[in-house]
Amino acid sequence: MTLPDYHFISAPLWLVTTLHLLTLTLHLAAMSCLFGGTLIALWAGIRKQWAGPDAVDFVRVLPAATAATVSLGVAPLLFLQLVYPRQVYAAAIVSGWFWLAVIGAVITAYYAFYRASFQAHRTGQVSLGLLALAALGLLYTSLVYSSVFALAEQPDLLRALYAKNQSGWVWNPALGAYGLRWLHMLLGALTVGGFFVSLLGRHSSAMAATGRAAFVGGMAAAAGAGFLYLLTLDTDLAPFMRTPAMPALVVALLLALAALHFHSRKRFGLSGLCLFLSVFGMVYMRHVLRLVRLRGSFDLAAWRVAPQWSPFLLFLVCFMLMLVVLVWMARLFFRPDEDSA
């Protein structure tokens, strides 16, 4: 009996890639609202810039933002593992303990958010200690993700590190390859978090000012860190410049400026849309850069494609249903008067 071969991709690559980039953008948007928002709230709390009901209301949103971040993080990880299992698992195994500890860090952050939320509701005070604990959990997660995913793109380094240490206690030592990338992500999170804060605090001058400052300042700093990161690409820079990622970078930057423009006019819907599309552009560039860095050891086109259309159709129907149900539930929750009427 000839056993089935599992080395295949069960949908056209463009479809899998699109789904991966789209779901990763959604995850990054939610994560940035959460992580950036937490850092801003913490900073504002320490400097006593905003407190009272505004701060309480904001903190009470954070558990939901965590739920969204976690839920939306599952799909891109799935699609990533589908296409790049050899790279992703290998890097995760070499840093096994750090990777696994992410679960503990996120659980800690999640419970800290809930606790802070309940406490704020009960006492009217925001616990900066709990916010700091949650921020630490998220900070750890961000560092591990940057370290592991950067390592996944360095197969030679990966082999060398494993040959020396198989215990799973290996931290990616090539900080130069991912330090600025991590900083760019952190500043990007502050940018999106700033937008989130200013959106939720649009009726509070203190909160809106804090959010606006983080939005504008974060964006400028993120752009600077991003350009510096490009300069560290060394031999990968030239091939990267020849890819469609460069036009995408220009479009993403223009979209970011458009987001600033609309934000200054308090047109939050348009600003948010431009910001989301700008993040999508960054995610696309990240995807192209991964392929550039893996050239020579991995070829996306080498995958055998054997579509499973009926299971895919089931997923598509369920995905559409999911969107409909989410919108319907949100309307039910946020406009309860309509329901009672």
Per CB under 8 A, the list member of 110, 149, 182, 276 interacting with other proteins is 110
Residue 205 within binding range of other proteins, rule CB under 8 A: no
Site size for other proteins, by CB under 8 A? 70
Residue 298 within binding range of other proteins, rule CB under 8 A: no
Torsion of the alpha carbons at 291, 82, 183 and 39, rounded to the nearest 10: 160
Among 128-136, 262-270, 278-286, 327-335, the segment contacting other proteins (CB under 8 A)? 327-335
Residue 46 within binding range of other proteins, rule CB under 8 A: no
Q: Which two tokens stand for residue 285?
A: 């560039």
Residue 305 within binding range of other proteins, rule CB under 8 A: no
Rounded to a whole number of angstroms, the minimum distance from the CB of residue 44 to other proteins is: 24
Distance from C-alpha of 69 to C-alpha of 302, rounded to nearest angstrom? 32
Residue 88 within binding range of other proteins, rule CB under 8 A: yes
Q: List CB contacts of 331: < 8 A, sequence separation 6 or more.
A: 338
Per CB under 8 A, the list member of 39, 41, 106, 190 interacting with other proteins is 106
Residue 114 within binding range of other proteins, rule CB under 8 A: yes
Tell me the backbone φ, ψ of residue 9, rounded to 5 degrees.
-110, 130
Distance from C-alpha of 287 to C-alpha of 243, rounded to nearest angstrom? 11
Per CB under 8 A, the list member of 13, 175, 246, 318 interacting with other proteins is 318
Among 174-182, 246-254, 270-278, 303-311, the segment contacting other proteins (CB under 8 A)? 303-311
Q: Does residue 327 contact residue 336 with C-beta atoms inside 8 Å?
A: no
Distance from C-alpha of 287 to C-alpha of 13, rounded to nearest angstrom? 13
Q: Does residue 222 contact residue 188 with C-beta atoms inside 8 Å?
A: yes
Per CB under 8 A, the list member of 35, 50, 58, 79 interacting with other proteins is 79
Alpha carbon distances (Å) from 225 to 179, 180, 235: 10, 6, 19
Rounded to a whole number of angstroms, the minimum distance from the CB of residue 168 to other proteins is: 5
Q: Which is nearer to other proteins, 4 or 269 (CB)?
A: 4
Residue 196 within binding range of other proteins, rule CB under 8 A: no
Residue 64 within binding range of other proteins, rule CB under 8 A: yes
Q: Which two tokens stand for residue 250?
A: 């220009």
For 160, the 3-state DSSP assignment is helix
Alpha carbon distances (Å) from 50 to 3, 163, 199, 210, 291: 64, 52, 15, 8, 44
Among 101-109, 128-136, 183-191, 274-282, the segment contacting other proteins (CB under 8 A)? 101-109
Range list of H helices, the chain: 13-46, 53-83, 85-94, 96-123, 128-151, 155-164, 175-200, 205-231, 237-241, 245-264, 268-293, 309-334, 336-340
Residue 9 within binding range of other proteins, rule CB under 8 A: yes
| Identity of the residue numbered 251 | V
Per CB under 8 A, the list member of 13, 46, 107, 305 interacting with other proteins is 107
Residue 219 backbone class (left: φ over 0; alpha: ψ -120 to 50; beta: rest): alpha
Q: Which is nearer to other proteins, 67 or 257 (CB)?
A: 67
Q: Which is nearer to other proteins, 163 or 231 (CB)?
A: 163
Q: Does residue 10 contact residue 311 with C-beta atoms inside 8 Å?
A: yes
Rounded to a whole number of angstroms, the minimum distance from the CB of residue 334 to other proteins is: 9
Per CB under 8 A, the list member of 163, 231, 301, 302 interacting with other proteins is 163
Which residues in this chain contact other proteins in the complex, by CB under 8 A?
1-11, 19, 63-64, 67, 70-75, 77-79, 81-82, 85-86, 88-90, 92-94, 96-97, 99-100, 102-103, 106-107, 110-111, 114, 158-159, 162-163, 166-168, 308, 310-312, 314-315, 318-319, 321-322, 325-326, 329, 332-333, 336, 339-340
